[in-house]
């Protein structure tokens, strides 16, 4: 493996930390885990005990309302999420013990945990595949390798956060992912534990200390090699039509020129360029891979799983790679390039978007009414 030197900065062979524990004491970390770990197991036990009642009521409700078992699917989904989180916590403990017993070096340690992260992420996506018939199709995944790479993804659902660790990285793909996430996800105990074993940054989106959060994010690029990528959701939050209207209104008030450039976006939010541009400035050797996907529209929140928007869907994922030599060096030109590439994401979604499964009359009726209203 090659170690990179950028300017006068010498990169270590491996990342010395995970980019997010700075400023958090071990006591604060374990106080949070003292809530989330037993809370996960308690919630799983309670939901399991009540499942017969939940399923009986759900089945009766679905039959009376002539729904394709949407409430039954929803309760099975909630239970499965809780179950796999309980399994994940246990396995992360076992994985840690085995890894220490084998006296792994830092690279082996990361690869060891990247494997379980990829497996667990696919299990969570598998819940939607099992109960909603979701199919996953990833096109051009080979473009991810080699690194170092900056991966920019659309964010439209609670499911698509599983895309980088589950389908676009890991030992099978040949690259290891370092993901930028919102700090609230530390209250997910599995994300919390794995983040202390593979590099990852948890940023405070509304902290006001922009420079500090950008530095935490950019620290992920330290020690990157030809089997590393940094994954970022440059919209900064999940897309919804309501958020798009709100953000565009704020953008018109703050930066009319930017609002005009982004006025044509239909399926994505305007990109927040600060993080992407800071990462590109930090590493002069980062190629950029863009990730567009469709099929998860209408599933941005857990309660949306009741509306049938996932039934029979195909989650299509498309990647394309831009070599660093094609990324402009001038800041204004680089911003224009980034926004132009993001418009390509929006255009691809527009060309490939689906509206439910026509084989399912209930879903077709709901989507038919929505399209007519639009």
Residue 202: φ, ψ to 5°: -115, 115
Each of the 374 residues of the chain gets a pLDDT tens digit; together they read: 333 333 333 333 333 443 444 556 778 888 999 999 999 999 999 999 999 999 999 999 999 999 899 999 999 999 999 999 999 999 999 988 888 888 888 888 888 888 899 999 999 999 999 999 999 999 999 999 898 999 999 999 989 999 999 999 877 888 889 999 888 888 999 999 988 888 888 888 776 677 888 888 898 898 888 889 999 999 988 998 899 999 999 989 998 998 999 999 999 999 999 999 999 999 999 999 999 999 998 788 887 888 888 888 999 999 999 999 999 999 999 999 999 999 999 999 999 987 644 444 545 455 445 444 44
Q: Domain extents for the chain?
A: 23-373
pLDDT for 23: 55
User: What angle separates helix 26-64 from helix 70-101, to the nearest 10 degrees?
Assistant: 150
Closest CA to 227 of 249, 188, 198: 198
pLDDT (0 to 100) of residue 305:
85
CA angle 320, 321, 323 (to 5 degrees): 160
Strand partners for 290: 152, 320
> For position 213, what pLDDT does the model report?
83
185 Cβ contact list (under 8 Å, min separation 6): 191, 192, 202
Which pLDDT score is estimated for 319?
A: 96
Task: Look up the pTM and report it.
Answer: 0.85
Pairing of strands 287-294, 176-182: unpaired
CB-CB contact of 173 with 145 (8 Å)? yes
Structure tokens at 49: 């005990």
The confidence score (pLDDT) of residue 196 equals 81
Two tokens, residue 182: 């919102």
């Amino acid at each position: 493996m090659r170690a990179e030197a950028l300017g006068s900065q010498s990169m270590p062979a491996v990342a010395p930390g995970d980019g997010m524990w700075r400023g958090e004491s071990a006591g604060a970390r374990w106080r949070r885990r003292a809530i989330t770990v037993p809370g996960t197991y308690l919630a799983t036990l309670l939901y399991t005990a009540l499942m017969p009642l939940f399923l009986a009521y759900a089945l009766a409700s679905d039959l009376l309302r002539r729904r394709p078992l949407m409430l039954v699917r929803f309760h099975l989904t909630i239970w499965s999420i809780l179950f796999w989180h309980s399994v994940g916590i246990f396995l992360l403990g076992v994985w840690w013990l085995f890894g220490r017993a084998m006296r792994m070096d830092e690279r082996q340690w990361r690869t060891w945990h990247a494997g379980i992260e990829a497996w667990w992420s696919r299990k969570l996506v598998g819940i939607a595949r099992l109960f909603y018939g979701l199919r996953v199709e990833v096109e051009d995944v080979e473009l991810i390798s080699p690194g170092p790479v900056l991966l920019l993804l659309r964010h439209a659902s609670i499911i698509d956060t599983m895309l980088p660790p589950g389908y676009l990285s890991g030992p099978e793909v040949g690259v290891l992912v370092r993901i930028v996430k919102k700090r609230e996800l530390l209250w997910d105990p599995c994300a919390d534990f794995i983040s202390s074993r593979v590099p990852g940054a948890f940023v405070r989106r509304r902290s006001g200390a922009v420079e500090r959060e950008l530095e935490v994010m950019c620290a992920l690029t330290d020690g990157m090699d030809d089997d590393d990528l940094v994954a970022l959701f440059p919209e900064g939050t999940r897309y919804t039509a309501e958020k798009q209207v709100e953000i565009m209104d704020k953008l018109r008030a703050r930066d009319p020129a930017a609002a005009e450039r982004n006025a044509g976006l239909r399926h994505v939010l305007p990109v927040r360029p600060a993080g992407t541009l800071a990462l590109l400035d930090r590493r002069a050797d980062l190629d950029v891979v863009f990730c567009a996907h469709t099929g998860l529209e209408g599933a941005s929140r857990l309660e949306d799983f009741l509306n049938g928007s996932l039934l029979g869907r195909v989650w299509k994922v498309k990647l394309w790679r831009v070599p660093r030599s094609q990324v402009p060096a001038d800041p204004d030109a680089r911003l224009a390039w980034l926004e132009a590439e993001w418009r390509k994401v929006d255009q691809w979604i527009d060309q490939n978007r689906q509206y439910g499964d026509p084989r399912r009359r209930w879903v077709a009726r709901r989507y038919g009414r929505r399209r007519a209203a639009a």
